[in-house]
Chains A and B, each alone.
Chain A
Amino acid sequence: QQQVKQSPQSLIVQKGGISIINCAYENTAFDYFPWYQQFPGKGPALLIAIRPDVSEKKEGRFTISFNKSAKQFSLHIMDSQPGDSATYFCAATKGNQGGKLIFGQGTELSVKP
Chain B
Amino acid sequence: ETGVTQSPTHLIKTRGQQVTLRCSSQSGHNTVSWYQQALGQGPQFIFQYYREEENGRGNFPPRFSGLQFPNYSSELNVNALELDDSALYLCASSLGQENTIYFGEGSWLTVV
Q: A: which residues have CB within 8 A of B? A: 6, 32, 34, 36, 41-46, 49, 89, 91, 93, 96-106
Contacts and interface: CB of A to CB of B under 8 A. Distances in A.
A82 B2 CA distance: 23
Contacts of B45: 100-102
B66 interface: no
Contacts, number: 76
B42 A100 contact: no
Given A96-B97, A98-B94, A98-B97, A103 B103 contact: no
Interface string B1-17: 01010000000000000
Given A98-B55, A100-B56, A106-B41, A43 B106 contact: yes
B92 A99 contact: yes
